[in-house]
Structure 1
Amino acid sequence: MIKPILLLSAFYSVNALSQVTVLEPLSFGTIVVVENTPSSSVTLLPSGTSSGTNIHIMRNGYPAELLFEGFGARVQINITDSGVHQPLTRINGGTAFTLDNIIYANSIVTNAYGMATLKIGGQLSASGDGQLYLDDNYSTTVEITIAY
């Protein structure tokens, strides 16, 4: 069984009291690639709902959850990513997954205490080259940019 996991890094330029904390990394759960074809993929929405095409979901994953603190009351924070993501690989190499995109709200608004949370999902695709995937953890790092 395959356990792809993403670590999210938030890069931001804010005052010294503001911070972004990764409460939960993005995980697609435990999956089995039935057919490694170009159409094999799994999608995990920020709500936690997941579905797969030619990929069986053995154990559900969960969206990433970021906590924003110290941004001031009712501040709109805009979120973007480059759209270019590194492959999800295992430590010893082999067939990699592709992170086609990450799924998130483009902006959030802090509450009266200057806090907000953001949940992030994504779509993961198999290589499509017919090669087998080995049982292991697959991971990568994703960068997002925030502006407010």
Structure 2
Amino acid sequence: MTKALICILSVLLSAPGYGAITLNSDLNFGKIIVASPHQIGSVTVSTTGATSSSGSIHVIQKGHPAELLLEDFPVGVYLNVTTYMLNNQLNHTSQSTAGHLGITALHHVDRVYTDSFGRARLVIGGTMQSQPLAHAYLDGNYQTTVSLEISY
């Protein structure tokens, strides 16, 4: 039996001092099936929204990249973007299971330029990978948190 998983990556925002960050949408890997839990698979959501999968993971419903609005920053400056994985393992939102689905990469530009209103848009994609299991993955939602640092 195949299992459907929905994976969402939440972004923890931190920009001390100047500016505000609004999360318009989480990074969502969509609804997937891990056809063979014994094999490694991966799914990638690009910053343009394109989705690809390989190995034992098949995408049933496309996900989307995270989108953040950066505002109240100085006008006409480059904002440097750094992301940190606090825990690259995804946790099931209602069961105590973790460690078998992990984020292997986050995809985003290294810096964005603020417009004449001190705003910029940041889009973050990512790659998730499954690890071999002796049993099937649990149906449900999986999530983790990413720390985002903005400097200029």
TM-score by length of structure 2 reads: 0.89
User: Contact 1:94–1:133 (CA<8 Å) still a contact in 2?
Assistant: no
The one of 115, 124, 138 aligned to 2:119: 115
> Who is 1:26 aligned against?
27
Shift of the alpha carbon at 1:55? 0.8
Matches of 1:62 and 1:92, distance apart in 2: 24
Distance in 2 (alpha carbons) for counterparts of 1:137 and 1:82: 22
Query: Which has the higher mean CA deviation after the structures are superposed, 52-61 or 84-93?
Result: 84-93
Using the TM superposition, give the Cα deviation of residue 135 of structure 1 relative to its aligned residue in structure 2, in angstroms: 1.1
User: 1:68 is matched with which residue?
Assistant: 70
Q: Which runs of 5+ in 2 are unaligned?
A: none
> Residues of 2 paired with 1:69 and 1:86: CA distance?
28
Question: Structure 1: which 5+ residue stretches go unaligned?
Answer: none
Does 2:147 correspond to 1:146? no
The equivalent of 1:3 in structure 2 is 6
Between the aligned partners of 2:129 and 2:138, the Cα distance in structure 1 is 15
C-alpha distance after superposition, 1:94-121 (max 9, x if no partner): 3531111111111000111110110101
The one-letter amino acid of 1:68's match is L
1:42 corresponds to:
43
Identity among equivalent positions (%) equals 30
**Cα distance in 1 for residues equivalent to 2:84 and 2:150:** 12
Distance 1:130 1:104, change over 3 A: farther
Q: How many residues were matched structurally?
A: 146
Cα distance in 2, alignment partners of residues 130 and 47 from structure 1 = 35
For residue 82 of structure 1, give the secondary structure of its aligned residue in structure 2. Answer: strand
Cross-structure match for 1:88: 90
8 A contact 1:30–1:61 mirrored in 2: yes
- CA RMSD for the aligned pairs? 1.5
Task: Determine if contact 2:48/2:65 at 8 Å carries over to the other structure.
Answer: yes
Question: C-alpha distance in 2, partners of 1:94/1:28?
Answer: 18
Q: Which residue of 2 aligns with 1:125?
A: 129
Residue 59, structure 1, aligned to residue 61, structure 2:
yes
Q: Which amino acid aligns with 1:92?
A: Q
